[in-house]
Amino acid sequence: MGNIKTKSNKNKILIYFITAIVITAIILTIIFFSTRKSALEKCADVGFIYIWGEQNKAYISKSFKEKISDNKNFKDFPYTKLFGICDQSQQQYPEKFKEKWGK
């Protein structure tokens, strides 16, 4: 009888261990894919640095929502304008855009 109980406990521990691994894998996958930038955002970020310089590099680490809604800073060439240019480029030259910036 004691032998059956030991196997049962080992199986429970194994199930908990496998469940923990699966949950960790799901969480890491969500974190990895949610932090990836789209090709349009990468394009706009590079354009932003090209126009406004390296001293403004911290700006591109902001969330996409913040960058798009910010029309007060960089009034001459805001992020929304750069994003629009990249979107237009993607529509006009999809193969070249995909080659340079990815999907």
**63-96 pLDDT, tens per residue?**
888 888 887 777 778 888 888 999 999 999 889 8
For residues 49 and 97, state if they share a domain.
Answer: yes
Q: Are 43 and 31 within one domain?
A: no
Which tokens go with 92? 């006009």
pLDDT of residue 68: 82
Based on the domain organization, do 25 and 49 belong to the same domain? no
Q: How many domains does the chain have?
A: 2
Between 55 and 13, the more confident residue is: 13
Structure tokens at 94: 């999809």
SS3 16: helix
pLDDT digits (tens, 9 = 90+) for 5-40: 677 788 888 899 999 999 988 888 777 766 677 888
CB within 8 Å of 68: residues ≥ 6 apart: 79, 80, 83
Contact 62, 4 (CB under 8 A): no
Residue 50 CA to residue 34 CA, distance in Å, equals 26
pLDDT of 34:
63
Q: Which residue segment(s) compose the domain that 66 sits in?
A: 39-101
Claim to verify: residue 48 and residue 93 sit in the same structural domain: yes
